[in-house]
Amino acid sequence: MIILSIETSCDETALSVVEVIGEFPTATYNVLGNALFSQIDIHREFGGVFPAVAKREHIAIILPMLEKALQESHIPHKITPKQNEIEEKVHVLLDREAGLAEQLLKFNTRYGVPTIDIIAVTSGPGLEPALWVGVNFAKALAYLWNVSVIPVDHMEGHIISSIFDGHHLEAITFPALALLVSGGHTEMILMKDWGQYEKVGQTRDDAVGEAFDKVARILGLPYPGGPEISRLALEARERSLPEYQKLPRPMINSGDLDFSFSGLKTAVRYGIEGKILTDDEKKALARDFEDASIETLISKSKKALKKYNVQSFILGGGVSANTYLRNTVAGLTSKDQFPNLKVFLPDSTLSTDNSIMIALAGHSHLETALSSDDFASTVKANGNQSLS
């Protein structure tokens, strides 16, 4: 089976062609084509992602990315005769994606129908205008190619991404706990089995990635701030720079499994108000912030690991690219902590948004595939979609 997967939930336009041999979760996955365009350079000018800008960029780049992924995959494609009624319907399906219908129809005439069996597309959560581009594009492709579509949850994609070794999903024992840390989410999900999710903790305000990005902005660093903070903090650790500011560990003793990061960001803002920091002070503060945020994440994770007798711990989402967080999570399996725990960290190329994870998550839900007509008439992009 060949899956085309589409991801447009935030500022990455990503499409993959993935060959699947076998059944979930023991299948072999071969990524035949993978195209990803990051809009980061465009959003950097604005200091963050504006949904309308993200939507415009997805519309501009999604078709070239499709063609790139398809060409890279070398899967066969067949030219079909032109039919006028097809044109009308594609215009209706892509009514809100200015200009995309014409381009897609030209592509369809030129390239024909590829041997894709099914489409998997992120339907949420994320920025709704951005999500709609992927969802409507999937509607039009499914119609043109006469294939079914599987709506996929972006966060489930991040979970599966962490278990993927490049060709297979690693063996996992349940119950598993997923700590999902991204620009829009900070949540702990208890998994009793594949597809069975219970949210046991979440942030009450900012997501941790958002806090990284905001603190970076306070320090005058470019967007996205997570990797910048990470880089400065690493240098502060290597050089053992002295503490710049004592920062709070919000909600660390709250008794539940929830998080809060907005106060931490405010503490950083107040701490440097009216001061001009030296480069070393910025590095030290980046490290102090990383210490405070990651200590809270780890402390709550440990509570959940004990409470639910967790066998497998999955770290997922964009912030899982953070080296200090990865090392700290890997350290949880030490003799004096959780020696029987198995830890799953995403490959560094799959920790931030990508479409390979959407193909994998889609394959886990083949039974939810909808005919192109049913998908077009029932599925909506849902910015607030939640796993449980």
Q: Summarize as ranges the residues that interact with ligand KG4 (CB under 6 A).
A: 10, 182-184, 209-210, 212-213, 224-227, 230, 317-319, 321-322, 352-353
Supply 128's token pair: 């709704």
Closest to ligand KG4 by CB, 192 or 231 = 231
Closest to Zn ion by CB, 153 or 353 = 353
Q: Which residues pair with 124 in a beta bridge?
A: 153
Cα–Cα distance for residue pair 376/379, rounded to 1 Å: 6
Closest to Zn ion by CB, 100 or 361 = 361
Closest to ligand KG4 by CB, 129 or 184 = 184
Min dist. Cβ of residue 311 to Zn ion (A): 25
Min dist. Cβ of residue 384 to ligand KG4 (A): 14
Among ligand KG4, Zn ion, none, what binds residue 227 when CB lies within 5 to 8 Å by partner kind?
Answer: ligand KG4
Min dist. Cβ of residue 361 to Zn ion (A): 12
Q: Which residues pair with 30 in a beta bridge?
A: 19
Instruction: Report which residue's Cβ sits closest to ligand KG4.
Output: 318
Secondary structure of residue 29 in the 3-state scheme:
strand
Q: Which residues pair with 169 in a beta bridge?
A: 164
What DSSP string runs through 66-100? HHHHHHHHT--EE-----HHHHHHHHHHTTTSTTH
Residues with Cβ within 8 Å of residue 52, at least 6 apart in sequence:
129
Closest to ligand KG4 by CB, 183 or 362 = 183
Cα–Cα distance for residue pair 261/203, rounded to 1 Å: 7
Site string for Zn ion, 350-369 (x = CB under 5 A): ---x----------------
Among Zn ion, ligand KG4, none, what binds residue 322 when CB lies within 5 to 8 Å by partner kind?
Answer: ligand KG4
Secondary structure of residue 278 in the 3-state scheme:
coil
Min dist. Cβ of residue 65 to ligand KG4 (A): 17
Write the CA distances from 160 to 176, 320, 346, integer angstroms.
12, 13, 9
Among Zn ion, ligand KG4, none, what binds residue 213 when CB lies within 5 to 8 Å by partner kind?
Answer: ligand KG4
Among ligand KG4, Zn ion, none, what binds residue 346 when CB lies within 5 to 8 Å by partner kind?
Answer: none
Q: Which residues in 176-195 contact Zn ion (CB under 5 A)?
A: 182
What DSSP string runs through 283-309? HHHHHHHHHHHHHHHHHHHHHHHHHTT
Min dist. Cβ of residue 10 to Zn ion (A): 6
- Contact by Cβ (8 Å): 229, 216: yes
Size of the site for Zn ion (CB under 5 A): 2
Closest to ligand KG4 by CB, 225 or 383 = 225
50-69 burial, b if ≥16 CB within 10 A, otherwise e? ebebbbbbbbbbbbebbbbb
Closest to Zn ion by CB, 114 or 184 = 184
Using CA atoms in the order 268, 274, 277, 281, what is the torsion angle rounded to 10 degrees?
A: -40
Min dist. Cβ of residue 322 to Zn ion (A): 14
126: phi then psi, degrees, rounded to nearest 5: 155, -160
Task: Point out which span in 90-98, 192-200, 248-256, 345-353 binds Zn ion (CB under 5 A).
Answer: 345-353
What DSSP string runs through 116-146? --EEEEEEESS-HHHHHHHHHHHHHHHHHHT
Closest to Zn ion by CB, 70 or 297 = 297
Among Zn ion, ligand KG4, none, what binds residue 209 when CB lies within 5 to 8 Å by partner kind?
Answer: ligand KG4
Among Zn ion, ligand KG4, none, what binds residue 230 when CB lies within 5 to 8 Å by partner kind?
Answer: ligand KG4
Closest to ligand KG4 by CB, 213 or 288 = 213
List of residues contacting Zn ion (CB under 5 A): 182, 353
